Chains A and B, each alone.
Chain A
Amino acid sequence: MADIAEEAPGEAPPDAVDRVVVRFAGDSGDGMQLVGDRFTSASALYGNDLATLPEYPAEIRAPAGTLAGVSSFQVQISDHDITTPGDAPDALVAMNPAALRADLPRLRPGGTLIVNIDTFDERNLTKAGYANDPRHDGSLAGYRVLEVPMSSMTVDAVSPLGVKPRDADRSKNFFALGLVSWLYGRPPATTLDWIEQRFKARPDVAAANAAAFRAGYHFGETAEWAAHRVTVRPARLDKGVYTNITGNTALAWGLVAAGHLAKLPVFLGSYPITPASDVLHELAKHKRFGVRTFQAEDEIAGIGAAIGAAFGGHLGVTTTSGPGLSLKSEAMGLAVSLELPLLVIDIQRGGPSTGLPTKTEAADLLQAMYGRHGEAPLPIVAPRSPAHCFEVAIEAARIALAYRTPVIVLSDGFLANSSEPWRLPDVDQLPDISVPFATEPNAVTADGTPQFRPYQRDPETLARPWAVPGTPGLMHRIGGLEKEDGTGNISYDPQNHEHMVRVRAEKVARVADSLPPLEVTGDADADVLVLGWGSTWGAIADAVQRVRAGGRRVAHVHLTHLNPFPRELGDVLRGRRRVLVPEMNLGQLARLVRAEFLVDATPITKVQGVPFTAAELEETIVEAIDG
């Protein structure tokens, strides 16, 4: 149904730029996440590289027109490889005064500001805290302001279809999307096709949204804005098939893949919590793969059920966010003691307590490391980008299965909801992570009777055998009480307890033997090194690139494995003049590497619920190099 020409005949194509950052901002009921997502998809299918940053309030419908209710979606599109959603938007779409007030400070000087002037009445201005209309008091002087009566033009466009004015206004986000799509040369067919598909069951809604989209698309031309129009050509990405994917979807698909690669059914026990629930939603769709999802009565039952399933020979998984991780602590300790494979996935958010449920933070690292009573070490892995979540889910499962241990995956709200193009892997090339179940007795008693010893370990990995119920002759009992190594019988023997504590720690330490070589990017031998983990990768990588482009030397190491650390890490860090550790917390990784390696690591911290920008890090790194 693409009845809009890609380019008007005879018209010069718009100038090409190498990257553009667009930010859509409106009320939480305005559909900004939806249009951001559609703009992103259209750009992805067009072939751009991209990265997104959705931001929305914790309230489902915060009071309309207020700053608290502003929902935004930022996307950077480019014709080359990029790693962040951009520092400052080149264009801001503000659907109401509150959105303008909340997000104007982010817009780059001289940037394009597209304002829905229909909402700029006294009531909305007051709700946004404006004493005067900012359009008339000179406060927008530093920007290219495009004033558009979006609401009324949407109503004009859709009312011929018989849509009531109140309903008509709800299509104004598609008007905005059409306008921005024209402004940045996005092929309209992708979006129009999507509208038709998405609203198949409601042809009236589909028609209204399509009409609003077309009206927005045509408006630019009519308003003679061709001079503002630019486009971003497809990126020269590595050859392959790509899809645009969010971290939570990649994580869920990674879990499906892990089950496939382990030849085990996946069992997810989970309790709804922002921003982790989407993993539950996604996995619930994949019963065809034998995936069982169980929405438990609470966080503890979520992990409890996963432990039960793991005992039964499934790949047990539980997903949560910060507060839920706290609730699961005791059960994680049980899993450490039972030595069963288990994945505990924490999509971190702002804390403590309920904190900032919809905002990102990475402040659960020390909880993941130490947040259990007793000596209860477990491996920790963290993805660095949305697509990387897929790989890390498989890696976490590999470790959990090979070492019979719970593994914590630390993702965060930014990775969860943001997206990037992902070159799809060849599924036949993914690793086999399957491990055998025990089927036979592994010892004999003094009188020569075959016996099964549930804690008799593999000499290399120290993993104990995994004997699942239903296996004849291997009946055994496990539990949280300290047990004798080998037999698994309850033991309060002092020497045995110390032995078991050390064996459990050594088992986790030996995971390091199975890790790939540590990668140092940038100038590997530079005397300043930036050490990162998790979602800061994009901003750090971009900042390091800029610093090096500016003629300075800097190295970058980004950890996927946080416990145990890669064996080479100490050597890589020691001897540097400066080790900088950017983190979305108050310096938790810095504290760990200082303790582990006696390295004078300097934390670079940000806890504002939003990711670092590359510009912020560039400045800090340059100061450190020059300082």
Chain B
Amino acid sequence: MADAPTTTRKDWSTDQDVRWCPGCGDYSILAAVQLLFPELGVRREDVVFISGIGCSSRFPYYMNTYGMHSIHGRAPAIATGLALARPDLDIWVITGDGDGLSIGGNHLIHALRRNVNLTIVLFNNQIYGLTKGQYSPTSEVGKVTKSTPMGSVDHPFNPISLAIGADASFVARTHDLDRQHMIDTLRAANQHRGASFVEIYQNCNVFNDGAFETITAKQVRDDMLIRLEHGQPIRFGADGGKGVVRDPSGGLRVADVAEVGEGALVVHDARADDPSLAFALSRLSSGPTVPTPIGVFRDVERPEMSAEVGRQLVDAAAQGPGDLAGLLHSGGTWTA
């Protein structure tokens, strides 16, 4: 792909009118992705976006690449087939909290455990937008929506915990108000060989406005977002005054650095084979009300499925290419 021509954002945009609501967080994600691609050095014809159903799933129509807007929840399955058939392609899955975690939850966890080479981006707005405002599998308990007039009694998924539990080899989180962080996170996800999972906190300004502003708004961000960086002590706050330390319970907790001392801070290790630290980090916050980690939780190497499938094909072909007449005669035969 070294010979990919130089491109600009415009080359990656289509002539289709973007049909998201004015002010939707999806616009900034689209911009980040279109800005990222010229950096990646790939050819447009080698890139495929596959989505399911929901607001986020309109995404492929706006990318000047190959694309498929499929059916609800099934994008990871369709993308898996494409990736196994065509390991030469750069395949992205665009999904949402309803599409990817509710109707398509099964396909998502299996794509992750198989480690198919896909960049899976889940736009989490904690609501069903396209069906006009029902609670989703990431909505908080007590959420009042059209389908839960007395408040939701469903316990929500934590997408990062779920992905780590499904043995994803790359797991990250970012949010729609920080373009550069989105670009950096998506670049890392795309460069990872295997299934990459990126949760993007995305604002639905019509049905769930401000769901994340308690942590992502510029004025609170420094105190509420814990930026994870591999190999660095985990600290945050305007002056780096807070940090993450191990808790006697076995988990992690937030502490004042002044109280615990710098030496007590946990050093982030995204590449640890053991997923315990990444999982504990995913449990630091159960929702956008307390300091919440963003960045890469986990980034480990393990065999990628399409390569393994390809290896078996090569091994089989090494015993001689397929001979159709030979196949038909491979059972017992007799001549009349």
Render B317-336 as a binary contact track against A, CB cut-off 8 A, 1 for contact: 10111101101110111111
Residues in A neighbouring B336, C-beta threshold 8 A? 47, 234-240, 242, 423
- Asked if A469 and B48 sit within 8 Å, CB to CB, the answer is yes
Given contacts A475-B45, A477-B14, contact A470 B88 (CB under 8 A): yes
- Asked if B324 and A427 sit within 8 Å, CB to CB, the answer is yes
Render A280-312 as a binary contact track against B, CB cut-off 8 A, 1 for contact: 000000111110101011101100111111011
What is the bound-complex CA distance between A331 and B52, given in angstroms? 12
Render A454-470 as a binary contact track against B, CB cut-off 8 A, 1 for contact: 00000000000000111
Tell me, rounded to whole Å, the shortest Cβ–Cβ distance linking B70 to chain A.
6
Residues in B neighbouring A304, C-beta threshold 8 A? 70, 74, 77-78, 80-81, 107
Which residue in A244, A287, A301, A472 is a CB contact (below 8 Å) of B107?
A301
Render B44-67 as a binary contact track against A, CB cut-off 8 A, 1 for contact: 111111100100000011011111
B192 interface residue (CB < 8 Å to A) = no
Stretch at the interface among B194-202, B215-223, B308-316: B308-316
A-B contact count (CB 8 A): 204
B234 interface residue (CB < 8 Å to A) = no
- Asked if B70 and A480 sit within 8 Å, CB to CB, the answer is yes
B307 interface residue (CB < 8 Å to A) = no
Render A517-551 as a binary contact track against B, CB cut-off 8 A, 1 for contact: 00000000000000000000000000000000000
A313 interface residue (CB < 8 Å to B) = yes
Given contacts A287-B316, A475-B65, A479-B69, contact A314 B332 (CB under 8 A): no
- Asked if B317 and A287 sit within 8 Å, CB to CB, the answer is yes
- Asked if A481 and B69 sit within 8 Å, CB to CB, the answer is yes
B89 interface residue (CB < 8 Å to A) = yes
A44 interface residue (CB < 8 Å to B) = yes
A213 interface residue (CB < 8 Å to B) = no
Residues in A neighbouring B106, C-beta threshold 8 A? 297-298, 301
Residues in B neighbouring A423, C-beta threshold 8 A? 336
Given contacts A292-B84, A304-B81, A308-B50, contact A473 B324 (CB under 8 A): no
- Asked if B77 and A290 sit within 8 Å, CB to CB, the answer is no
Tell me, rounded to whole Å, the shortest Cβ–Cβ distance linking B131 to chain A.
15
Which residue in A241, A288, A425 is a CB contact (below 8 Å) of B321?
A288
Given contacts A240-B335, A241-B335, contact A312 B78 (CB under 8 A): no
Residues in B neighbouring A477, C-beta threshold 8 A? 14, 49, 60-61, 63, 66-69
Residues in B neighbouring A236, C-beta threshold 8 A? 336
Residues in B neighbouring A305, C-beta threshold 8 A? 77-78, 80-81, 84
- Asked if A292 and B313 sit within 8 Å, CB to CB, the answer is yes
What is the bound-complex CA distance between A623 and B127, given in angstroms? 66
A560 interface residue (CB < 8 Å to B) = no
Residues in A neighbouring B110, C-beta threshold 8 A? 296-297, 301
Tell me, rounded to whole Å, the shortest Cβ–Cβ distance linking A512 to chain B.
29
- Asked if B332 and A489 sit within 8 Å, CB to CB, the answer is no
- Asked if A243 and B61 sit within 8 Å, CB to CB, the answer is no
A68 interface residue (CB < 8 Å to B) = no
Which residue in A239, A286, A287, A301 is a CB contact (below 8 Å) of B80?
A301
Stretch at the interface among A252-260, A573-581, A582-590: A252-260
Which residue in B46, B312, B332 is a CB contact (below 8 Å) of A41?
B332
- Asked if A300 and B46 sit within 8 Å, CB to CB, the answer is no
Residues in B neighbouring A334, C-beta threshold 8 A? 70-71
- Asked if B89 and A243 sit within 8 Å, CB to CB, the answer is no
- Asked if A309 and B313 sit within 8 Å, CB to CB, the answer is no
Interface centre among A265, A425, A475 (most CB of B within 10 A): A475
Interface centre among A249, A305, A309, A478 (most CB of B within 10 A): A305
Question: Majority SS of interface residues in chain A?
Answer: mixed
Tell me, rounded to whole Å, the shortest Cβ–Cβ distance linking A327 to chain B.
11
What is the bound-complex CA distance between A292 and B74, given in angstroms? 20
Tell me, rounded to whole Å, the shortest Cβ–Cβ distance linking A429 to chain B.
11
Residues in B neighbouring A381, C-beta threshold 8 A? none
Residues in B neighbouring A470, C-beta threshold 8 A? 45-46, 86, 88-89
- Asked if B86 and A313 sit within 8 Å, CB to CB, the answer is yes
Residues in B neighbouring A294, C-beta threshold 8 A? 80-81, 84, 309
Residues in A neighbouring B334, C-beta threshold 8 A? 44-45, 47, 241-243
- Asked if A478 and B68 sit within 8 Å, CB to CB, the answer is yes
- Which A residues between 422 and 450 are near B, CB-CB below 8 angstroms? 423-425, 427
A272 interface residue (CB < 8 Å to B) = no
Residues in B neighbouring A338, C-beta threshold 8 A? 68
- Asked if A269 and B71 sit within 8 Å, CB to CB, the answer is no
A245 interface residue (CB < 8 Å to B) = yes
- Which B residues between 7 and 61 are near A, CB-CB below 8 angstroms? 14, 16, 43-50, 53, 60-61
A594 interface residue (CB < 8 Å to B) = no
Residues in B neighbouring A257, C-beta threshold 8 A? 324
- Asked if B77 and A311 sit within 8 Å, CB to CB, the answer is no
What is the bound-complex CA distance between A473 and B66, given in angstroms? 10
Minimum CB distance partner of A318 in chain B? B81
What is the bound-complex CA distance between A331 and B325, given in angstroms? 35
Minimum CB distance partner of A42 in chain B? B332
- Asked if B77 and A300 sit within 8 Å, CB to CB, the answer is yes
Render B83-119 as a binary contact track against A, CB cut-off 8 A, 1 for contact: 1111011000000000000000011001000000000
What is the bound-complex CA distance between A479 and B53, given in angstroms? 10
- Asked if A489 and B16 sit within 8 Å, CB to CB, the answer is yes
A316 interface residue (CB < 8 Å to B) = yes
B294 interface residue (CB < 8 Å to A) = no
Which residue in B69, B84, B89, B324 is a CB contact (below 8 Å) of A469?
B89
Interface centre among A243, A260, A311, A472 (most CB of B within 10 A): A311
What is the bound-complex CA distance between A87 and B34, given in angstroms? 69
Tell me, rounded to whole Å, the shortest Cβ–Cβ distance linking B317 to chain A.
6
- Asked if B313 and A290 sit within 8 Å, CB to CB, the answer is yes
- Which A residues between 326 and 373 are near B, CB-CB below 8 angstroms? 330-331, 333-334, 338
- Asked if A296 and B77 sit within 8 Å, CB to CB, the answer is yes
B121 interface residue (CB < 8 Å to A) = no
B252 interface residue (CB < 8 Å to A) = no
- Asked if A306 and B81 sit within 8 Å, CB to CB, the answer is yes
Minimum CB distance partner of B82 in chain A? A308
B79 interface residue (CB < 8 Å to A) = yes
What is the bound-complex CA distance between A604 and B53, given in angstroms? 45
A496 interface residue (CB < 8 Å to B) = no
Residues in B neighbouring A307, C-beta threshold 8 A? 70, 78, 81
Residues in B neighbouring A301, C-beta threshold 8 A? 74, 77, 80, 106-107, 110
Minimum CB distance partner of A333 in chain B? B71
What is the bound-complex CA distance between A300 and B88, given in angstroms? 25
What is the bound-complex CA distance between A406 and B14, given in angstroms? 29
What is the bound-complex CA distance between A309 and B116, given in angstroms? 14
Tell me, rounded to whole Å, the shortest Cβ–Cβ distance linking B148 to chain A.
26
A474 interface residue (CB < 8 Å to B) = yes
Minimum CB distance partner of B44 in chain A? A475
Residues in A neighbouring B60, C-beta threshold 8 A? 477, 479
A residues near B (Cβ < 8 Å) are 41, 44-45, 47, 234-245, 249, 253, 256-257, 260, 265, 267, 269, 286-290, 292, 294, 296-298, 300-301, 304-309, 311-314, 316, 330-331, 333-334, 338, 423-425, 427, 468-481, 489-490
B residues near A (Cβ < 8 Å) are 14, 16, 43-50, 53, 60-61, 63-71, 74, 77-86, 88-89, 106-107, 110, 309, 312-313, 315-317, 319-322, 324-325, 327-329, 331-336
If A242-B333, A294-B84 are given as contacts, then 16 extra A-B residue pairs at C-beta distance below 8 Å, sorted by A number, are A288-B321, A289-B324, A290-B313, A301-B74, A301-B77, A309-B85, A331-B71, A334-B71, A427-B324, A469-B46, A472-B45, A477-B49, A477-B61, A479-B61, A479-B67, A480-B53
Top 4 A-B pairs ranked by shortest CB distance?
A305-B81, A479-B69, A308-B81, A289-B322
Offer 7 A-B interface pairs, CB within 8 angstroms, sorted by A: A240-B335, A297-B107, A301-B107, A333-B71, A424-B329, A475-B44, A477-B67
